[in-house]
Structure 1
């Protein structure tokens, strides 16, 4: 025979305190998931910044060596540097697109659970500072590749 405390009547009204705790845990899990998405975008930013910076540096070093007539042809390092910058930009674009898509889906799921009364959704998702930094880095990447390809700008 089951213990009285462990047996629950399937038709009984759930305990309000346990529903409240469950609702709060679910709400906090949305916050943790949002922060995880921010950390993922930060990883993309870090890697893209490394690729863009390293590519631009390779380009500049070999360009200066070519200008000083130390190297006869600097086309291979130039193309390699440009390729690294383009890969960094492409990675950043895909990371931003993934982040935006993920956050739209997370917000939709959160809104759905709120409309069903399963979570409170009192705390809002703040604007993403990480996304703003990613967009600024994307702008810097475009300026770098433009400077490299068209040989313009202060670089």
Structure 2
């Protein structure tokens, strides 16, 4: 049971990374789009790029945080599986239930890809979010 609780703890940690990076990506994209629309409607001067750059920086920070969270989660789960296999080989544990890929990890990877699409849309003004 301890391994299952540890795995659930790792999933909760990844969920907190998802929550924080989603907030950064969403807030940064909103700031970027808001000031882009103000510039397009000539409310702001055309040379004012600081708010747009700030929005882009938030999205980049969110995507970077998501990538680090995914890598950390994968490394932790690999170590946990190796430790569990070593304990099973030594005969210290007998339960050999599988560790399927977590739904949290799948959502994290999908959010990472959406973040990359948002960055592409913001930089090159193409894609589904433009």
- TM-score, structure 2 length as denominator? 0.96
Structure whose alpha-carbon radius of gyration is higher: 1
Any unmatched runs of 5+ in structure 1? 1-27
CA positional deviation for 1:121:
2.6
Match of 2:42, SS state, is: coil
> Which residue does 1:45 correspond to in 2?
18
1:35 aligns with 2:3: no
Does residue 142 of the first structure (1) align with residue 90 of the second (2)?
Answer: no
Aligned pairs, how many? Answer: 128
Name stretches of at least 5 consecutive residues in structure 2 with no aligned partner: none
RMSD value, Cα: 0.8
Correspondent of 1:128 among 90, 102, 116 = 102
Which one of the candidate residues 28, 33, 41 is aligned to 1:55?
28
How far 1:107 sits from its partner (Å)?
Answer: 0.2
TM-score (ref. length: structure 1): 0.80
CA contact (8 A) 1:38 1:130 kept: yes
Shift of 1:33: 0.2
**Residue range with higher mean Cα deviation, 72-81 or 60-69:** 72-81
